[in-house]
Amino acid sequence: MKTAFFPAKLLQGLPSDNMEALAAICGEYERFDGHARQLPEHHGDYVEALSILRGFAIARDTKLESFPEISPQRHQNITNITGYFNRLRDMVRTELSGRYSRGYFETKTEEYVALFSRVSIYEFSDQDFRRVHDLVRELRDLIRGSSLISDDHKRRLLRRLEAMHAELHKRTSDIDRFWGFIGEAGIAMRKFGEDLAPISERVLELGGIVITVIFATEGIKALPEVSQIVLPHS
């Protein structure tokens, strides 16, 4: 791009969740459009922005509204592209808003089920909770960029990671998906050993935080190392 928008770092670090990734792309387009103000001299960048979105849809196998035709009329192209991004932005915001509302509803329901049935509540400190989410973001990037893990295994890992991320709230009664991710990550860690060190280190740190919270809640004093759970014994 002639302008400094849609940098490679942003595009390479898009969330694995397609809706969240589309939200990031639309947000960057809004920034770009606010700068370019639909001027004809930025026509090429408008077309390139649409090509970025189309490339994303193809790579992620994401079904979107039919893309506008690119014609010789620059002003018309810019208008059509902007209209397309605006419609997409509204759709994505509606979907994510509904998703967050449903997630909040499920979270609060779990809390009250636990209250009424005296189920254990696992609660993270502010520091641990922030670190867990930082580790999830780092793992997402490392898994996607790994040259060791196959594409199929990457998809399984990322799916488990996102499911766990959606499950882990500051106060939660359900950590089933955490074990699903730890099991899937353990397969990769056993297979590649030290070569997977950057990913393994973060998996072990994340697992250590969550298991410490679980065992503290359950009154268990002897905490096992996460490596003893996911890695073979020497």
Q: Are strands 122-123 and 171-172 parallel, antiparallel or unpaired?
A: antiparallel
Which residue, 177, 175, 173, 176, is CA-closest to 115?
173
Residue-wise pLDDT tens digits, 8-42? 888 988 888 889 999 999 999 999 999 888 787 89
Cα–Cα distance measured from residue 178 to residue 162, given in angstroms and rounded to the nearest whole number? 10
Whole-model pTM above 0.75? no
- Percentage above 90 pLDDT, the chain: 37
Q: What are the Cα distances from residue 31, in Å, to 63, 75, 91, 145, 189? A: 24, 19, 18, 27, 40
Confidence bin at 76 (pLDDT 50/70/90): very high
Smallest Cα–Cα separation from 189: which of 223, 142, 141, 222? 142
- Ordered by start, the domain boundaries in the chain are 8-95, 120-230
Q: Are 175 and 214 a contacting pair, CB within 8 Å?
A: yes
Task: Give counts: helices (H), strands (E), the chain.
Answer: 9, 2
Label residue 88 by pLDDT band (50, 70, 90): very high
